C-alpha cells in the first residue's frame, strides 16, 4: 500500500523516481512527531550565509523542464509556483500504479471479486486509500526527511528549494495520513469485518513508512532492510488489502507475497544508483555505496530474477503448470532488458529499463494472484 508504502515498481510513464523511497503503505495508534526545521537547506557545509537557492542553477534541470514530469513528481520537472501543483508533485503520482495494481492482484487472489457496482466501488476506494492517500503520505514524508540529501542530489526539488513552506508540508503529511486511515475504516465497515483488518494494515503500513524515512530507526540507512521494507510496501501490503477486502488473508498468501517482495527489494535498488553521491556523504549504506555499483547491479537483477523463478517453481509444485509457464515467459523479457539497459549503465538507462521491464514483472504478479485464487 503505499505505505504500501520512497523504485519502486510499476508501469512507469516516464520514470519511477521514488527518490529514496519511497513508499509504504496494523498496530496501535502511533504518535508521530514531525520535527519542524528551517527549509533553507544548504547543499553542503559552508561558512557563508549563501542559501541553497544560489546552488540551484548548477544542478537544476534545463530550462523548459516538463510540466508533465512535474505533475508526475519525477526528474526533469519544470519549476512551478502553483501550490497545488507542488503538493501533487510531492505525492509522486508516478508511484501510485504499483499500489493500485497490488489491490487488483489481491482482489483477484481472493476469488470473490465480482463485476458488480458495489465491488468495483469498494476496489476503487481501496485503490485511492493505497495510492493517492497512503503512497502520497509516504512520498511527502520521505521528501521531508530527505531534504538534506536532496539538497545535495536534487536541490531544485520543492522542499530544499523553498518552493513550499514547512507548515504546508507538515499539514499535507497529516491530511494524507488521516485520509488514508479514514478510508480504511470505512472499507472495514462496508465489508462487514468484525475485526478492522484494513485499518490495521493501513496503520501498520503507515508506521513502516515513518520508520523507513524518519530517525532514529530510518530503515533506509541500511540497504538490505530498507529496500526489503520498500518492496514489501509495494507488493505485499496492497495485495493483502485487496484480498482482505473481498476474502480472507491466509498465512500461505502472506508468506508468498513476502517472498515476492524480495523482487521488490531488487526494484528498489534500481533507484539507489542515482543517489550514490548524496548517500555516501550522509552515511547512508545503500547497496551501491556498500558494495560498489558493479556488484550492486548483479545483486539487483539477481533479487528480481531468482525470486520470480522461485515463485514459478512454487506454482509448478502446487499443480499450476500453465501459470508457472506464463510466469517464466514474462521473466524472459525482463532479463533481456536488464542486459540491454540496466547492466550497461544503471544511471543512464534506469528510465528506459524500468519502462521496458517492469510491465512484465507486474503482469507476473497478476498471473500469480490468479493461480492462488483457484
- Mean local confidence (pLDDT), 83-91: 92
- Mean local confidence (pLDDT), 267-272: 90
Question: At 22, is the pLDDT very low, low, confident or very high (cuts 50, 70, 90)?
Answer: very low
- Mean local confidence (pLDDT), 150-168: 87
Half-sphere exposure of 121 (CA within 13 A, CB side): 7
Q: Which of 31-45, 89-103, 215-229 is predicted with the least confidence, judged by mean pLDDT?
A: 31-45
CATH, range 250-373? 1.20.120
Average model confidence (pLDDT) across the chain: 83
Q: What is the pLDDT of residues 180-231, one digit of tens each?
A: 999 999 999 999 999 999 999 999 999 999 999 999 989 988 889 999 999 9
Question: At 35, is the pLDDT very low, low, confident or very high (cuts 50, 70, 90)?
Answer: very low
Residue 292 CA to residue 98 CA, distance in Å, equals: 28
Q: Which of 5-19, 104-118, 176-190, 208-222 is predicted with the least confidence, judged by mean pLDDT?
A: 5-19
pLDDT of residue 350: 87
Residue 369 cell numbers, joined: 494472484
Residues 61, 77 contacting (CB under 8 angstroms): yes
pLDDT of residue 314: 94
71-246 maps to CATH 1.20.950.20: no
pLDDT of residue 65: 67
Question: At 271, is the pLDDT very low, low, confident or very high (cuts 50, 70, 90)?
Answer: confident
- Mean local confidence (pLDDT), 244-273: 93
Residue 111 cell numbers, joined: 476469488
pLDDT of residue 23: 38
Q: What is the pLDDT of residues 44-74, one digit of tens each?
A: 343 433 333 333 344 445 455 677 676 666 6
Residue 85 CA to residue 329 CA, distance in Å, equals: 40
Percent of the chain with pLDDT over 90: 63
3-state secondary structure the chain: CCCCCCCCCCCCCCCCCCCCCCCCCCCCCCCCCCCCCCCCCCCCCCCCCCCHHHHHHHHCCCCCCEHHHHHHCCCCECCCCCHHHHHHHHHCHHHHHHHHHHHHHHHHHHCCCCCCHHHHHHHHHHHHHHHHHHHHHHHHHHHHHCHHHHHHHCCCCHHHHCCCCHHHHHHHHHHHHHHHHHHHHHHHHHHCCCCCHHHHHHHHHHHHHHHHHCCCCCHHHEHHHHHHHHHHHHHHHHHHHHHHHHCCCCHHHHHHHHHHHHHHHHHHHHCCHHHHHHHHHHCCECHHHHHCHHHHHHHHHHHHHHHHHHHHHHHHHCCCHHHHHHHHHHHHHHHHHHHHHHCCCCCCCHHHHHHHHHHHHHHHHHHHHHHHCC
pLDDT of residue 134: 97
Residue 90 CA to residue 268 CA, distance in Å, equals: 19
- Mean local confidence (pLDDT), 117-130: 97
Angle ∠(35,95,163) on CA atoms, nearest 5? 45
Query: Residue ranges per domain, the chain?
Result: 71-246, 250-373
Cell 503448470, located at residue: 321
Higher-confidence residue of 374 and 254: namely 254
Q: Using N-to-C axis directions, what is the helix angle for 166-191 and 197-213, rounded to 10°?
A: 160
pLDDT of residue 72: 66
Higher-confidence residue of 54 and 358: namely 358
pLDDT of residue 150: 81
Q: Can the peptide bond before residue 350 be classed as cis, meaning omega within 30 degrees of 0? A: no
pTM to 2 decimal places: 0.79
Q: What is the pLDDT of residues 317-350, one digit of tens each?
A: 999 999 999 999 999 999 999 999 999 999 999 8
Amino acid at each position: 500500500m503505499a505505505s504500501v508504502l520512497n523504485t519502486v515498481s510499476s508501469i512507469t510513464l516516464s520514470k519511477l523516481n521514488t527518490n529514496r523511497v519511497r513508499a509504504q503503505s496494523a498496530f496501535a495508534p502511533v504518535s508521530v512527531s514531525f520535527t519542524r526545521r528551517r527549509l533553507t537547506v544548504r547543499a553542503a557545509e559552508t561558512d557563508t550565509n549563501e542559501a541553497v537557492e544560489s546552488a540551484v542553477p548548477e544542478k537544476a534541470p534545463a530550462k523548459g523542464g516538463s510540466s508533465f514530469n512535474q505533475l508526475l513528481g519525477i526528474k526533469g520537472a519544470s519549476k512551478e509556483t502553483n501550490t497545488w501543483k507542488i503538493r501533487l508533485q510531492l505525492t509522486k503520482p508516478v508511484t501510485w500504479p504499483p499500489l493500485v495494481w497490488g489491490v487488483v492482484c489481491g482482489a483477484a487472489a481472493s476469488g470473490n471479486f465480482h463485476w458488480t457496482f458495489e465491488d468495483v466501488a469498494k476496489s476503487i476506494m481501496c485503490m485511492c486509500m493505497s495510492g493517492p492517500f497512503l503512497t502520497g503520505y509516504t512520498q511527502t514524508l520521505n521528501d521531508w526527511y530527505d531534504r538534506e540529501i536532496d539538497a545535495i542530489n536534487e536541490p531544485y526539488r520543492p522542499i530544499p528549494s523553498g518552493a513550499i513552506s514547512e507548515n504546508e508540508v507538515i499539514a499535507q503529511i497529516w491530511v494524507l495520513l488521516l485520509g488514508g486511515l479514514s478510508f480504511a475504516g470505512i472499507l472495514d465497515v462496508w465489508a462487514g469485518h468484525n475485526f478492522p483488518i484494513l485499518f490495521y494494515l493501513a496503520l501498520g503500513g503507515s508506521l513502516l513508512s515513518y520508520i523507513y524515512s524518519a530517525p532514529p530507526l530510518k530503515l533506509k540507512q541500511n540497504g538490505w532492510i530498507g529496500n526489503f521494507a520498500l518492496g514489501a510496501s509495494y507488493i505485499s501490503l496492497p495485495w493483502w488489502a485487496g484480498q482482505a477486502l473481498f476474502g480472507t488473508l491466509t498465512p500461505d498468501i502472506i508468506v508468498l507475497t513476502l517472498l515476492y517482495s524480495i523482487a521488490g527489494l531488487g526494484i528498489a535498488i534500481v533507484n539507489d544508483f542515482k543517489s550514490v553521491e548524496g548517500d555516501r556523504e550522509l552515511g547512508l549504506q545503500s547497496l551501491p555505496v556498500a558494495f560498489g555499483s558493479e556488484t550492486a547491479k548483479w545483486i539487483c537483477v539477481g533479487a528480481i530474477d531468482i525470486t520470480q523463478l522461485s515463485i514459478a517453481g512454487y506454482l509448478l509444485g502446487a499443480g499450476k503448470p500453465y501459470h508457472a509457464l506464463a510466469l517464466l515467459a514474462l521473466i524472459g523479457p525482463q532479463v533481456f532488458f536488464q542486459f540491454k539497459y540496466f547492466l550497461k549503465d544503471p544511471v543512464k538507462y534506469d528510465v528506459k529499463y524500468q519502462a521496458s521491464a517492469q510491465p512484465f514483472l507486474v503482469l507476473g504478479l497478476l498471473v500469480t494472484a490468479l493461480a492462488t485464487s483457484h
